[in-house]
């Protein structure tokens, strides 16, 4: 008797699932007609399987919906394993268009798994750019609505995709919907919310929330015209500018305060600048350029 598989403890919201002899046709053969499917033949008593499994699952999640992973317990599916000539485990097959196109046996290094996936995607004719990268490009190009739609589709298939989660939060911000950005952020699973990608998006939300209550940009500018040394007003202007998504202008105002009085209000301008760097991310061109300018001021 074939036992029904238990849901995988590492199930990835539809991109990772267990299969048996009853579901193999639908989960692998039919599914591979539209998306590449990796099949991991394993057993609970197999040590190398325990090493390989998490690496495969991580790689599939990073693919952001471009492929699927199906796990088959050979103890429960001996007839299927015999049909596919599985003589040693772990054994991994790649299916495209209803047929196997690649395979390997034994535990593999992460680099080997990535190479295996690259070959699989090429065999399937997949574009080099995955859905998450496509959505990020849309967002960078200012098409927040289309980016948000694509990020949502990715998350529907893979709720643990941290890049898509962070991207959706940022898309809501770019759309000017601060409440939706906060709701999206607060609704993320704890494990996803702890990721560096989402932490940076959370910093952006917090800064935008500060900016919403910082005052009117035009009024603040008029005040500075008559009182250019009013650091409190200039600081409020920087916060308000960030809230309006004028990040570069906000940085300029903060640098101006630091240049005039780096110790003002317990280094509030420098601390606010660091928050902006956190929101942008360490590799963002604006972060890199502004850090250099900040260092030049502080060490001059």
pLDDT in tens, 1-51: 233 333 343 344 468 999 999 999 999 998 888 889 999 999 999 999 999
Per-residue model confidence as pLDDT tens digits over 211-266? 998 999 999 999 999 999 999 999 999 999 999 999 999 999 999 999 999 999 99
- Report the pLDDT value the prediction gives residue 2, as an integer from 0 to 100: 30
What global pTM score does this model have?
0.58
**CB-CB neighbours of 191 under 10 Å:** 11
Domain at 131-197, CATH from 1.25.40, 1.10.760, 3.10.400, 3.40.50: 1.25.40
Ordered by start, the domain boundaries in the chain are: 16-124, 131-197, 214-299
User: Does residue 77 carry a catalytic annotation?
Assistant: no
- Name which of 276, 271, 207, 279 is nearest 244 in CA terms: 207
**Residues 27-36: pLDDT tens digits?**
999 888 888 9
Taking the C-alpha atoms of residue 152 and residue 167, their distance in angstroms, rounded to an integer, is 9
Residue 124 CA to residue 33 CA, distance in Å, equals 10
Distances (CA, A) of 274 to 54, 104, 251, 279: 35, 47, 10, 9
pLDDT at 282 over 90: no
CA-to-CA distance for 144 and 136, rounded, in angstroms?
9
Spot the catalytic one: 31, 38, 46, 64. 46
Query: Of the listed 19, 49, 155, 236, which one is catalytic?
Result: 49
Active site residue 49: yes
Fold type of domain 16-124: Glutaredoxin (3.40.30)
Is there a shared CATH topology between the 16-124 domain and the 214-299 domain?
no
Whether residue 61 has pLDDT greater than 80? yes
CATH of domain 214-299: 1.25.40.10
């Amino acid at each position: 008797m074939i036992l029904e598989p238990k849901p995988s403890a590492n199930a990835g919201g539809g991109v990772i699932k267990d299969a048996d002899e009853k579901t193999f046709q639908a989960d692998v053969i039919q599914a591979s007609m539209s998306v590449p499917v990796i099949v991991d033949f394993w057993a609970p008593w197999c040590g190398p399987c325990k090493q390989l499994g998490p690496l495969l699952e991580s790689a599939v999640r990073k693919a952001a919906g471009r492929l699927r992973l199906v796990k088959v317990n050979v103890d429960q599916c001996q007839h299927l394993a015999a049909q596919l000539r599985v003589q040693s485990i772990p054994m991994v097959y790649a299916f495209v268009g209803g047929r196997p196109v690649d395979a390997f046996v034994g535990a593999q290094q992460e680099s080997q798994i990535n190479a295996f996936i690259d070959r699989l995607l090429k065999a399937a004719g997949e574009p080099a750019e995955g859905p998450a990268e496509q959505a990020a490009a849309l967002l960078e190009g200012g098409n927040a609505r289309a980016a948000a739609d694509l990020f949502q589709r990715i998350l529907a298939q893979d709720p643990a995709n941290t890049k898509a989660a962070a991207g959706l939060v940022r898309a809501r911000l770019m759309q000017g919907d601060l409440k939706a950005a906060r709701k999206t952020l607060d609704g993320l699973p704890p494990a996803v919310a702890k990721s560096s990608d989402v932490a940076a998006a959370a910093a952006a939300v917090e800064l935008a929330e500060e900016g919403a209550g910082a005052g009117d940009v035009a009024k603040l500018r008029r005040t500075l015209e008559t009182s250019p040394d009013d650091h409190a007003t200039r600081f409020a202007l920087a916060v308000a500018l960030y809230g309006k998504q004028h990040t570069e202008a906000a940085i300029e105002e903060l640098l101006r305060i630091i240049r005039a009085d780096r110790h003002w209000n317990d280094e509030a301008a420098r601390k606010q600048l660091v928050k902006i760097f956190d929101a942008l991310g360490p590799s963002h061109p604006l972060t890199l350029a502004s850090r250099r300018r900040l260092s030049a001021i502080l060490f001059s």
